[in-house]
Structure 1
């Protein structure tokens, strides 16, 4: 009796492992914890991390999920999106070519674009103020009027 249950459990585990393996292969060997670039709001690219759906509350997840999409968390936020990492990877490789292969340049452009869409009142509430050269001045790096004049 025990051997039949054990065999049934093994078969179930093997079937589950095959399904997971197929799912991982269909996503290009990406796994939970991997860093990916995802497109948000049109042409804006942002780094994200693939997360385990079972570890995120239902209320935090987007409502709709399409085939081949995985749950990702945008870096610097607790925002979750379903994205197809293979499609995003192919598109992002084109963007990298436009930016001489530099992820840093791509990220800088994303930050500049994101900040340009924010209202000044939003920046002030978050403790940030735009500077003359287009950067951000936070309370931590803000110079006093005396320091700025020297």
Structure 2
């Protein structure tokens, strides 16, 4: 049984680790992998830690770290980007979801995954804690929803080009 969020857990995070994964049907070749890149240079001044994975458990670990980092940020903004399968191979689906905050970046390879990380779904659907920001993300949000993930519709910033 899952615990209710309390002051003991950071930003409403529950401590229950059982049943952390949801089944999902996604297109593409299924395989599990994780590649961690530390010290990725950003504009020659800062470095990032990037975790590329199709493993739900690894994505959940990184989601926890992103959530914790965003909680300590004043603005509580998480960057979001989505990549899709090839246009010439219908139906066009979400292939990769990228989330980033401060010096952390999760690249979740949805097309190779077999399950949705539960913490990832909870983070994206959070009611109050975070705002998701991205460039022209309305289409990304629509495709994510069709794939079974949804960004809280009231908690996003869609940056448009003028």
TM exceeds 0.5? no
Structure whose CA Rg is larger: 1
Normalised by the size of structure 2, how large is the TM-score? Answer: 0.24
* Higher share of residues assigned helix: 1
* Higher share of residues assigned strand: 2
Normalised by the size of structure 1, how large is the TM-score? Answer: 0.25
Structure with bigger RCO (C-alpha 8 Å, 6+ apart) = 2
